[in-house]
Amino acid sequence: MAIESGQELVRFDGVGLTFPGGSARRPVEVIRQLDLSVQAGEFVAVIGPSGCGKSTLLSLLAGYLTPSSGRVLFRGKPISGPGRERMMVFQQPALFPWLTTAENIAYGLKLKANRSDGRNVKETVAAMLQLVQLDGFARHYPSDLSGGMRQRLEIARALAVDPQVLLMDEPLAALDALTRRTMQREVLNIWEKTRKTILFVTHDIDEAVVMADRIVVMAQRPTFVLEIEEVRLARPRLREDDKVGKVARRLSTLLE
Amino acid sequence: MRGLVPPRSAIRLIGPLTVLMTWELAARFGLVNTLLLPPPSKALADLMVLISSGYLWKALYASLFRVICGFALAVTVGVTLGIAMARIRLINDFFDPLVELLRPISPLALFPLAILWFGIGDGSKIFVIALAASFPVILNTFAGARSIVANLVRASRSLGATELEIFKGIVLPASLPFIFTGVRLAWGISLIVIIAAEMVGATVGMGYMVLEAQQTFRTERVFAGIFVIGVIGFTTDLGFRRLRRWLLPWYRETEA
């Protein structure tokens, strides 16, 4: 049931989202009339003013939230809840602190829902450890890992259940500048090796230009898609590159 | 020079040893009334008598039996109720006011009532211990089950976990450090309550032994009893700390 690269995988169809108000709070309209289509195998970055609802977009796709109007479609079907074909990678890694690196990766594979896969847990864990270069740290607990390593582990745990799309919510925002650049290369590396579709929310315009095939620019809240920029530059891209800088400058004027 | 520095554990013995030596000498040279403050050597000699006559074991057995029964009841009820209160609103609304009303009452205030209900033997002691020791277990378990990071549950749900798998795989392990703290506090309370209860009304036990020694003016036996009670408290708490390192190797105290 593999989906061909280039086929439509995700579709936001006139999506609106309003958080209902409480006794002391007014209802908040976060998203209004959002349309977006993502192809299988694509690397799409999402940028926009802080607090505009970029993360909310991913939560809708993950199935943690349901739209108030419109539809969010995955492979043509409306999303009805969380599922392992759409894995979230959180900004603050949501690793299980009581499990070692290897056990964190194995957790998803051992769940009842995934046991019938016929995938060998040991082999998959080993492959994932290698993919994210954590080979020597299988028995370490998350608290013993550095920030960059935790983020790689989070990616490995998500990839272990073989999702079709990775939803990355500012995954590198908590890292220092140097680790961040290394991790950008790492994520691209993983993307090229696995060919997973990636939706990558970031507030760093340069990061978006260096990494993505397409960049979705979101408007202020209530948000919608302001513009979509296609980045036709060959990889690897450097943020010092003039062509990268030109795209980044154009996008940043859009956001001002 | 470095080779001459004694280990820290040896240095830490200096304080207690100094106090013991001063005490012993003061008693031997008649600087204090030995009827009220017998030398430690005399207390030690009496301890030997208590051991060889078997009287100590009888008292210790009676006390520890009551403590372990009451403590086990407190942990069982406390963990169950704490989790139920954290997860089910109706149960919380029913039990929370009861817990808050009963908690400030000194457990010993209930002891006369307990004797009426359960007699002068083991029953009354087990009852007060179970009651007094269940509060820290309930409150800590509740806090633990309520403090679970939402993204851990989300990640787990995306990976395909059922509600039961989330409970066993996330809620329980995440609460465990809190539960453990509650259990350790409960044990300390059990040890305090049993001695006091046995001094108020009992025919055998460590508390009874100390009180009887005081009433027959055998001060050295009072000290011998206090010493044994202290050793029990110290070693069991040490045991709990070891147990935690073994049960929760991933847990870092500073992070909580």
- Min CA distance, A76 vs chain B (Å)? 19
ipTM confidence score: 0.89
Whether residue A12 contacts residue A35, with contact meaning beta carbons closer than 8 Å, is answered with yes
pLDDT at B256: 39
- Min CA distance, A19 vs chain B (Å)? 18
pLDDT digits (tens, 9 = 90+) for A92-130: 889 999 999 999 999 999 998 888 777 789 999 999 999
Specify the amino acid at residue B132.
Answer: A
Whether residue A121 contacts residue A114, with contact meaning beta carbons closer than 8 Å, is answered with no
Sequence-distant (6+) residues with CB within 8 A of B42 are B27, B34, B220
* Domains within chain B, CATH numbers bracketed: 41-255 (1.10.3720.10)
Beta strand A197-201 with A165-169 is parallel
Nearest to B185 by CA among B146, B226, B236, B126: B236
**Residue A112: which of B149, B165, B173 has the nearest Cβ?**
B165
What is the domain class of A1-85+165-256 according to CATH?
alpha beta
Whether residue B147 contacts residue B178, with contact meaning beta carbons closer than 8 Å, is answered with yes
Structure tokens at B185: 């506090």
Contact A98 B154 (CB under 8 A): no
Binding-site residues on chain B for chain A (CB distance < 8 A): 149, 151-152, 154-162, 165, 169-170, 173-174, 176, 248-252, 255
Nearest to A105 by CA among A89, A123, A128: A128
pLDDT tens for each residue of chain B, 256 residues long:
556 788 888 899 999 999 999 999 999 998 999 899 999 999 999 999 999 999 999 999 999 999 999 999 999 999 999 999 999 999 999 999 999 999 999 999 999 999 999 999 999 999 999 999 999 999 999 999 998 989 999 999 999 999 999 999 999 999 999 999 999 999 999 999 999 999 998 899 999 999 999 999 999 999 999 999 999 999 999 999 999 999 998 887 654 3
Q: Is A233 on the interface with B (CB under 8 A)?
A: no
The verdict on pTM exceeding 0.80 is yes
pLDDT digits (tens, 9 = 90+) for A198-236: 999 998 999 999 999 999 999 988 998 988 999 999 888
> What CA–CA distance (Å, rounded) separates A245 from A79?
37
Delimit the CATH 3.40.50.300 region(s) of chain A.
Answer: 1-85+165-256
Q: How far is CA A133 from the centre of its chain?
A: 20
Of chain A residues 127-166, which have a CB less than 8 A from chain B? 141-143, 157, 161
How many A-B residue pairs are in contact by the CB < 8 A criterion?
69
